[in-house]
Structure 1
Amino acid sequence: MRILMVCTEKLPVPPVLGGAIQTYISGILPHVSQFHDITVLGISDSSLPEQETIQGVRYVRVPGKIFEIYRENVVRYVEANKFDLIHIFNRPRLVLPIRQAAPDAKMTLSMHNDMFQPEKIDPEEATAAIAEVAYIVTVSDYIGNVIRSLYPQASPKLRTIYSGVDSERFLPGNHPKMQKIRNDIRRAHGLENKTVILFAGRLSRNKGVDKLILALPELAKKFKNLALVIVGSNWFSENDITDYVAYVRALAKRMPVPVVTTGFVPPNEIQNWFAAADLFVCTSQWQEPLARVHYEAMAAGLPIVTTARGGNPEVIFANENGLIVENPEDPSDFANKIAQILSDQSLMRRMGEKGRQLAISIYHWERVASELLEVWEQAEKTEQAVVSEEQAAGMTIEPLKEDATEQLNRPTPKADAKEKVHSKKNAAASSDKTKKGKTKKERAISMEDHQQTAKQKEAAAERTELAKSDPAPKQPQTGRHIKPFTIASGNQQTLDASPKTHLNRKLAQAKHDTKHFTIASSH
């Protein structure tokens, strides 16, 4: 198929300025482009050309830092080009304008934030947008539950696809590729012989790093040679000194342990700071969809302390790869959870190893791409009801309001995130309609060949070793399972309802290989 991927107007692709959605797109492109003719449409940037082709993928960039201008330019491009399927990232308000421009294209939507909230999109427009798309992919069950609670009719179209990470780029600090980098960073910043706690994220009140800083005095009473590293700025590549940034820095200077603030770190260097750390802490105060730093910390072999907000708990197994702070507003809760890990070196090591195993066996880009390919190919088979011009004309198009990342303490859906499954298929989706007309067998061979590229050989080998471990499945702790879902438009169809491997079964099989999973310690 000829597929158009429409990014948001916030940041460009590739992620030269960072961004979770931009990183997601770059992670899956090498895999999905093996089977389809892909064009990525995104925002222009002075460091990037208006159009270019990289490894067979076309990148088209248009102006429009303001949503309304971006929407106009996106529609103009879609009108001038024909695509079989259009995949929109995180902008349900683009669905109807794009449908008008491409009445015959199949449409799918990826949601990385809760942009279906009434303050983000008029309910009438949201209802029409849901009717227009074949599927809505979400990065966490939390986001899916928010949409489901607002628009129950969307339920059969929702599909959670957890994100991924490049486990060949994010490596433990004692990996041969990272040992010198780890030592150099620690030496340059006075972190030698320190137990380094790492925070990586934007410096904004809803990200809550001040709560971690305020936990340091209590931790300093129990542990010697602690240090905190804060990686990030107020807004991705910007390094403005906002009131909150000034507050964080002033607070850090009063602490009994050293606090290093790096400001913005380019995306191609961020993995070095993970390798230099010993423990990762996510301090989200808002209902975080599911911060991708969790995947990066796991790949780097770091035990994780995160908050019970939004989708964050969905990738944390208590006492397996991390701990969850139930009251993120209380610095003492952070101090207690961090102390629980730091006081037990064996637990600390096991958590890091388990996280690394999960990153390699579950949270890799091949799996993300495979599941998205499945969604696209099922979408291709659906019939699509087209919104009439009268309906579209009647929709209220409001200006884009405050970004979802600035919403604080939004109530979670009643469904407990811990009770949601995240075991996924690893098999590549099959379809006879591809840009090269490959058969299912040829596509499977092509995917296998692609996965064995030089960059991925080691990760593939590690996954193979993990799969050879104890085949006896462990019963899921919560009895979680994936239910088949159906398409609620046109000819109703059901996605493959065959049983999927439980994540806990993979945990049981993923016994660590000491060569690859021994985690560095600062002691």
Structure 2
Amino acid sequence: MRIALVCTEKLPVPPVRGGAIQTYIAGVLPYLSTRHEVTVVGRTDPALAECEEAGAVRHVRLSAEGGPERYADRVAAFLAGERWDVVEVFNRPAFVGRIARAAPGARLVLSLHNAMLAPDRLDPAEARRILARLDAVVAISDFIRISTARLYPEHAHKLRTIRSGVDLERFRPGPSPRSEALRARLGLTGRPVVLSVGRLSPKKGIHVILAAMERVLLTHPEAVLVQVGSRWYGHDDTDSYVRAVREQASRLGDAVRLVGYVPYDEVDAYFRLGDLFVCASQWEEPLARVHYEAMACGLPIVTTDRGGNAEVVTDGHNGLLVRPWHSAEALAAAIQALLDDPDLRRRLGAAGRCMAEAGFGWERVARELLEVLEG
């Protein structure tokens, strides 16, 4: 079959600037391309050629100048010039109408990585028209699938959950030469590391983690928070929230390292220097992919019970769930419990690695996705 994977206008594939969707596409490509001809349609990037081919995979990169609507027009114009058996559209239901007209006869699949069909994002009447055109909808979590099915029960039969995955070779337990070099450079030798990886955004809750660390330091003054991430992928620019976070972190002195943006091909080294991982989602997170990376690296996870996070973190098995999600006190208590108990950290971390090996490799993701694409 000839398959087109249509990425969003935000970030390029492969994930040279990061991005969960871009990482997902790059992860499944080696498996999809052994059975079909695959073209990835994405946005241009200074680091990447506009067109390139590698075996059965072709990348076509189009300008995102002018915003999503202009980008969607360019995608449709490209698709109209060739014949397609399947087109999968990632997280942009508004593109579906154009693509249906550009690729008549193709099987149409929508991959939902956020609640893009919610009424606050898309008029329900338009959402129903889009769903009627689709052959299948892949949701990144049960949370996204169930919330979509509740809104549009007549289309529930088209929905399927396929959770994301992780590179189990790159993300693995134990230190690496790069992580040890980072540990020395950041001055972390001999100190327990509380790791957080995520954008500096209110919905990611970095301010809650910092407030929790104030309490953690009362009982574990040697602990240090390493926060990896910037306001937006590929940049270290600031806004009022970033400035507030930096001010909040400065009050904790040597107990915080705000690392900033790290290219995705380097981020595994940070996971491999952590002693535990913290995710403090303050919004209804679809299911943050950092959970898979932390599990693969054998880190016990502390995460808020928001959105889809609890689908892969079972309280007391591979991590600790924080309730209420906005409570710095509850978050601190969970972090302190893990810092207090090395055996608990090892047990939860080992369970997480087993879960990753059993169900979160890219081969599993690709196998399930192929079942949808092949109909």
TM-score normalised by the chain length of structure 2: 0.98
In structure 2, the partner of 1:81 is: 82
* Partner SS for 2:265: coil
In structure 2, the partner of 1:286 is: 283
TM-superposed CA distance for 1:328, in Å, is 2.0
Matches within 5 A, 1:262-273: 262-273=259-270
Deviations 1:432-457 (A, max 9, x none): xxxxxxxxxxxxxxxxxxxxxxxxxx
Distance 2:155 2:193 in 1: 44
In structure 1, the partner of 2:354 is: 357
Distance 1:103 1:126 in 2: 20
Distance 1:286 1:372 in 2: 27
**Structure (1 or 2) with the greater strand fraction:** 2
**Structure (1 or 2) with the greater helix fraction:** 2
Which one-letter code corresponds to 2:374 in the other structure?
A: E
* Partner SS for 2:246: helix
CA contact (8 A) 2:6 2:89 kept: yes
Distance 2:28 2:55 in 1: 13
TM-superposed CA distance for 1:100, in Å, is 1.2
Distance 1:89 1:244 in 2: 29
Distance 2:207 2:119 in 1: 30
Distance 2:214 2:221 in 1: 11
CA contact (8 A) 1:216 1:257 kept: no
* Partner SS for 1:268: helix
Which one-letter code corresponds to 1:262 in the other structure?
A: V
Distance 1:326 1:154 in 2: 33
Residue 320 to residue 257, structure 1, CA distance change in 2 (3 Å): farther
In structure 2, the partner of 1:308 is: 305
* Partner SS for 1:206: helix
1:60 aligns with 2:60: yes
Larger Rg: 1
* Partner SS for 1:109: strand
In structure 1, the partner of 2:32 is: 32
CA contact (8 A) 1:40 1:58 kept: yes
* Partner SS for 1:269: helix
Matches within 5 A, 1:283-432: 283-378=280-375
CA contact (8 A) 1:115 1:121 kept: yes
- Residue-pair matches, total: 374
TM-superposed CA distance for 1:361, in Å, is 1.4
CA contact (8 A) 1:17 1:267 kept: yes
Q: Which runs of 5+ in 2 are unaligned?
A: none
In structure 2, the partner of 1:251 is: 248
Distance 1:10 1:362 in 2: 29
1:217 aligns with 2:214: yes
Distance 1:301 1:269 in 2: 18
* Partner SS for 1:215: helix
In structure 2, the partner of 1:69 is: 70
CA contact (8 A) 2:51 2:59 kept: yes
* Partner SS for 1:221: helix
Q: Which runs of 5+ in 1 are unaligned?
A: 379-523
Deviations 1:365-417 (A, max 9, x none): 00000000111122xxxxxxxxxxxxxxxxxxxxxxxxxxxxxxxxxxxxxxx
Question: Kindly, what percent of the aligned residue pairs are identical?
Answer: 47
In structure 2, the partner of 1:43 is: 43
Distance 2:89 2:6 in 1: 5
Distance 1:9 1:241 in 2: 22
CA contact (8 A) 1:53 1:59 kept: yes
CA contact (8 A) 2:183 2:273 kept: yes
* Partner SS for 2:224: strand
Distance 1:266 1:249 in 2: 21
CA contact (8 A) 1:12 1:44 kept: yes
Which one-letter code corresponds to 2:247 in the other structure?
A: A
TM-superposed CA distance for 1:117, in Å, is 1.4
TM-superposed CA distance for 1:173, in Å, is 2.5
TM-superposed CA distance for 1:256, in Å, is 6.0
Distance 1:335 1:92 in 2: 39
Aligned residue among 205, 208, 215 for 1:208: 205
Distance 2:130 2:366 in 1: 24
Aligned residue among 165, 178, 183 for 2:180: 183
Which one-letter code corresponds to 1:73 in the other structure?
A: R
Distance 1:139 1:73 in 2: 26
Which one-letter code corresponds to 2:194 in the other structure?
A: I
Distance 2:147 2:351 in 1: 30
1:195 aligns with 2:196: no
In structure 2, the partner of 1:160 is: 161
Q: Which runs of 4+ in 1 moved over 6 A?
A: none
Deviations 1:250-296 (A, max 9, x none): 11111265100111000100000001111100011001100000000
1:261 aligns with 2:258: yes
* Partner SS for 2:248: helix
In structure 2, the partner of 1:6 is: 6
Distance 1:158 1:326 in 2: 29
When the two chains are superposed, the root-mean-square deviation of aligned CA atoms in Å is: 1.1
Which one-letter code corresponds to 1:228 in the other structure?
A: L
Which one-letter code corresponds to 2:252 in the other structure?
A: M
TM-score normalised by the chain length of structure 1: 0.70
